[in-house]
Amino acid sequence: MSGIRKTRRIWLGGVATILAAGVAYGAAAASSLTFVGWGGEGQDAMQKAWTDPFQAASGTTVLQDGPTDYGKFKAMVESGNVSWDVVDVEGSFAYKAAGEGLLEPLDFSVIDTKDVDPRFVFDHGIGSLTWSWVLGYSKDALGDKVPEGWAAMFDTETYPGGRAVVKWFAPGILEVALLADGVAPDKLYPLDVDRAFKKLDTIKKDIVWWNSGAESQQALVSGEAVMGMFWNGRTYMLQRDGMNIGVQWNQNLLTADYVVVPKGTANKDAAMKLIAQVVSAQGQADHSALTAYGPVNLKSTAMVPEEVQPALPSNYPDSQVVIDLDYWVKNMDAISERWYAWQAQ
């Protein structure tokens, strides 16, 4: 059986197994709610694995919006005009938003966490997927040159061409620069911010900025960028679709996305039930099968098709660097301000 057929089969099984997985729906469910992801093929996978099965089993229509926009998120909550109900966000934002009172507390009487990795659960958010920053590169552009790590991203003489970098500030950017500059993984934190920006200066004119996962893929496929920092699932999708893309996992930077509920949503109960589907064993396995992002449910990894397993971050622990979210919760605002000022210079 081909990988595509096997993945499809797993997803179709999701609807039938939602109730068995412990996701129950009451008769008084909301008529609709809005799920927000990062757009493109990544959000399509979230829809297939999570929101379509939830909609089929609950009768609640799930509307799609995106990409996730933190400024818009905050403005909605502060204005009291909240139109988003469940939002996929980066972990650093989840903790920061919770501290600012922007999130509803999760209802763990509805959301079953017994099989969820406890590293990715807190009062106001729960992991939706694990992922790594990886060095993705165009084999067409580089030929027989194989970049061995993040240092290659800053070596424009050996590897000429554009560098794809996320435009909004995200944990991982400075870590990439410091690892490329020779900082040992166990000496990363606290970050030497001045050193990181000095390293970034060396490729500033070569940067191809991206604002969504789909844009990151387009930058690489079009040749505008020959390499860059990517979510591992986005490079997997390109490889799966036959693109001549390589991935270097050396010093991949691991973190997680979280699903959260904006404070003031009118559909809080339905939002909790949708999140229960997101973190269920079947929902997590189905999503990983489609994207190669890692599951947060500890029962799910064994359910992911064999051909996808090598693309999961969990297969590269020896060279993995875990992003320190505690550091970023404390330092995000100050470093973000410097990041945008640096971009504007």
Q: Considering the chain, what percentage of its residues have pLDDT values greater than 90?
A: 87
Number of domains in the chain: 2
Average pLDDT over the chain, rounded to whole? 91
pLDDT value of residue 28: 44
pLDDT value of residue 24: 52
pLDDT value of residue 5: 28
154-161 average pLDDT score: 97
Convert the pLDDT of each residue in 16-35 to its tens digit.
Answer: 444 444 455 544 457 999 99
Q: Is residue 17 domain-shared with residue 57, that is, in the same domain?
A: yes
By the 10 Å C-beta count (0-12 exposed, 13-18 middle, 19+ buried), 130 is classed as buried
Judge whether residue 289 has pLDDT over 80.
yes
Which residues fall within 8 angstroms of residue 215, CB to CB, at 6 or more apart? none
Q: Is residue 154 domain-shared with residue 265, that is, in the same domain?
A: no
Per the structure, the complete domain to which residue 146 belongs is given by 132-254+331-344
Q: Helix 70-79 and helix 91-99: axis angle, to 10°?
A: 20
d(CA 131, CA 310): 13
Residue 325 in any domain: the answer is: no
The torsion angles phi and psi of 296, rounded to 5 degrees, stand at: -95, -15
Specify the range with the lowest mean pLDDT, choosing from 14-28, 137-151, 204-218, 305-319: 14-28
User: Binning pLDDT at 50, 70 and 90, where does residue 39 land?
Assistant: confident
pLDDT value of residue 23: 56
163-174 average pLDDT score: 96
The domain spanning residue 185 has which CATH number?
3.40.190.10
Q: Is residue 139 domain-shared with residue 248, that is, in the same domain?
A: yes
Q: Is residue 27 domain-shared with residue 104, that is, in the same domain?
A: yes
